[in-house]
Amino acid sequence: MNPRLDINYEKLVHNTRILTKKAEQQGIVVAGVTKVFQGNPAVAQAYIDGGVQHLADSRISNLSKLTSLSVPKILLRIPMHSEIGDVVKYADISLNSELSTLKLLNEEAKIQAKIHGVIVMVDLGDLREGIFSDKEFNKTIMEIKELQFIDVKGIGVNLTCHGGVIPTEKNLSKLVAYGKRIEEILGHELEIYSGGNSSSVYLLDQKKLHPKINHLRLGEAFVLGTESAYGEKIPNTHQDIFQLVGEIVELKEKPSVPIGEIGMDAFGNTPSFEDRGIRKRAILAVGKQDFGSYDLFPVEEDITILGSSSDHLIIDVTNSKLNYRVGDEVRFNLRYGALLSLLTSPYVHKNIIKEL
Ligand SMILES: *Cc1c(COP(=O)(O)O)cnc(C)c1O
């Protein structure tokens, strides 16, 4: 069924294993982040096979699909007041920065006869989630101490998401200082010092993570084999686990410059064209509605992308050594944005390739 997204299960297990092993050698536990594939349990199983000890997602509806996988589940996005019941039901641990929400979690945990785990988030400058002021931090921890059905498991930070701030030895040492302060107030040690996402992987490679940091939450590093501080490939990992496959519906020789007066394209932009003569062009039955406005990278290097609209992708196959015909398939590698769109598109078939 096309268009489809081929998902290579063995390669995903491999990437996961490379990183969980490396982390383990430094005393670090890894949570596998499932949000990019909407908590699909068949894909999440590859994380488990690769050695993650937690599964984490930003959406509770995704976590609710993972109940058959018996590792602790972490809710990554700060919970909404309107979803507290499901948070306590489906997440063992949630990331939190608001006292009002923690109080609701406490009441709900009491009703469900559970102890809900919490990782307190601090903001070290990226300016997305997390407690920012020292005063609020102290007040929050003092009050959490009184919440009987909340277990403060740890402290965490998220970086390189909104502000592009890179995790360093310096800013992560602040996380450790905050953690020590919680330990003083609560009178017990914290189990989790969660030092970030795929942008912290470079510190793992350089063995520069503070020894107190014992937890990372990784998605991109597993699915794309890239770290997200500098966008580098991670050694010994695969970058082609997910590939878009589109099918050719038209193949014709046409000029490279449109004929007629140029107005706007389908998205309100005025396009410009370089005259490269008559070219062999293929139209694939997949478009912006599926992959968003993000970049795709043809696996075959001799292909170039000419453009796309809602339902069509136009490529130039003039230089290809393959003799394409209508009905043939063309494959693309992806970056995070395109992958996220494709995995969310109901029009794209998800095809998990698993060796028996
Ligand atoms: C998405 C997310 C992650 C994982 O990020 P990657 O860059 O995919 O590793 C970790 N923590 C939080 C809070 C997130 O929202």
pLDDT at 350: 97
Residue 262 confidence (pLDDT) above 90: no
* Confidence label for 296 from pLDDT (cuts 50, 70 and 90): very high
Distance CA 244, CA 61 (A): 25
What residue spans define the domains of the chain? Answer: 9-224, 242-353
Residue 356 confidence (pLDDT) above 80: no
Residue-averaged pLDDT of the chain = 96
Q: Which CATH architecture has domain 9-224?
A: Alpha-Beta Barrel (3.20)
Distance CA 244, CA 246 (A): 6
Lowest-confidence pick of 94-103, 261-270, 288-297: 261-270
3-state secondary structure of 243: strand
Residues 146-155, mean pLDDT to the nearest whole number? 98
Question: Which residues contact residue 132 at a Cβ distance below 8 angstroms, ignoring those fewer than 6 apart?
Answer: 122, 123
Q: If phi over 0 gives left and psi between -120 and 50 gives alpha, with beta otherwise, what is residue 272?
A: beta
Question: Which residues contact residue 95 at a Cβ distance below 8 angstroms, ignoring those fewer than 6 apart?
Answer: 74, 75, 76, 77, 78, 118, 119, 121, 129, 156
- Both structure tokens of 179: 């953690």
Q: For the whole model, what pTM was predicted? A: 0.95
Q: Are 212 and 218 within 8 A, CB to CB?
A: no
Q: Give the atom of ligand 1 at the shortest distance from the alpha carbon of 228.
A: 7
pLDDT at 266: 84
pLDDT at 267: 84
Q: Could you report the per-residue pLDDT of 166-222, keeping only the tens digit for each?
A: 999 999 999 999 999 999 999 999 999 999 999 999 999 999 999 999 999 999 999
CA angle 124, 130, 135 (to 5 degrees): 85
Q: Is the CB of 33 under 6 A from ligand 1?
A: yes
Counting Cβ atoms within 10 Å, is residue 322 exposed (0-12), middle (13-18) or buried (19+)?
exposed
Q: Is the CB of 200 under 6 A from ligand 1?
A: no
Residues 319-331, mean pLDDT to the nearest whole number? 97
For strands 278-284 and 192-194, give the pairing: unpaired
Q: Which of 38, 58, 175, 199 has most ligand 1 atoms within 8 Å of its beta carbon, as the pocket-test mutant? A: 58
Q: Could you report the per-residue pLDDT of 76-135, keeping only the tens digit for each?
A: 999 999 999 999 999 999 999 999 999 999 999 999 999 999 999 999 999 999 999 999
Annotated catalytic residue within 21, 22, 35, 170: 35
Q: Are 87 and 94 within 8 A, CB to CB?
A: yes
Nearest CA to ligand 1 atom 14: 76
35: annotated active-site residue: yes
CATH assignment, 242-353: 2.40.37.10
Give distance in angstroms: CA of 163 to centre of ligand 1: 14
Distance CA 160, CA 148 (A): 34
Q: Is the CB of 219 under 6 A from ligand 1?
A: yes
* Confidence label for 295 from pLDDT (cuts 50, 70 and 90): confident
Q: Is the CB of 220 under 6 A from ligand 1?
A: yes
